[in-house]
Amino acid sequence: MELLYQCLIVLRKDLLQQWRARARLAAVVAFGLTTLLLFSFANGPDTTMLRLNAAGYLWLALLLSSTLSLGESFRVETQNGALEGLLLLPTDPRAIYYGKALGNLVVLTGLGLALIPVMVALYDVAIPMGVPRLAGVIALGSAGLVAPGTLYAALSTRARGSDVLLPLLLFPLVVPALLSSVKATALILTGDPMNQLASWLGLLTAFNLIYWSLCGLLFGRVVED
């Protein structure tokens, strides 16, 4: 209970911090939109191809933007020594991890939702299974990116060359989350005649369960040293 309470305090602090730095968040959204636009140039103006690849482009845009938003969320903490301050208080490091990760999840899911209308417009896709389900997949997939992402952001922002380090560590790791998110999103965009959606969501949930618990366990070791 105490852990949950502390976690909510960290989450509130994180969201407040993100809100104060909303100009930076706007830059991340702009970055995501730019990547979505660029993918259509990589493909050429072939509408059928764009429609087929829309799910993949959406997730690549989200993954690329996530490295920016994750890095930002910890840069503030390290710049003014706020993380050290938090650790001086009798806070469970797990509470810090889950609070930060939830904050990042809110930001990334928000970004994903903001990208939906642009994706619909640019790639001319329909959403036959409905926006709520798509939003659910975006939230679940973002959770998969954010779980190891928060852990890695905590360490890469305190190392030299942090800009290159975070994607280098994160990208190979999230391959299963990316793969299942893209598949699930594609099924939502094109329809699911074979009932495959459930198994992809199952895989994504398993990935989330494993990394949300494992990274929470290991986070303490990362920030204490």
Query: Which residues of this protein are in contact with other proteins, per CB under 8 A?
Result: 148, 151-152, 155-156, 159-162, 164-165, 168-169, 171-173, 175-176, 179-180, 183, 199-200, 203, 206-207, 210-211, 214-215, 218, 221-222, 225
To other proteins, the closest distance from the beta carbon of 160 in angstroms equals 5
Structure tokens at 153: 């952001």
Q: Give 64 or 116: the residue with its C-beta nearer to other proteins.
A: 64
H helix runs in the chain, sequence order: 2-20, 22-43, 47-79, 82-88, 93-123, 131-156, 162-173, 175-190, 197-224
Compare residues 115 and 151 and give the one whose CB is closer to other proteins: 151
State in angstroms the smallest separation of the CB of 117 from other proteins.
28
Tokens of 123: 């790639």
Nearer CB in complex with other proteins: 98/211:
211
Min dist. Cβ of residue 168 to other proteins (A): 4
Q: Which of 45, 161 has the CB closer to other proteins?
A: 161
User: 47 in helix, strand or coil?
Assistant: helix
Greatest pairwise CA separation for the chain in angstroms: 57
Q: Give me the least distance between CB of 169 and other proteins, in Å please.
A: 5
- Looking at residue 159, the DSSP 8-state letter turns out to be S
Length of the chain: 225
Which of 221, 212, 61, 55 has its CA nearest to residue 149? Answer: 212
Of 116 and 169, CB closest to other proteins? 169
Q: How far is the CB of 34 from other proteins (least distance, A)?
A: 26
Judged on CB neighbours under 10 Å (0-12, 13-18, 19+), 88 is: exposed
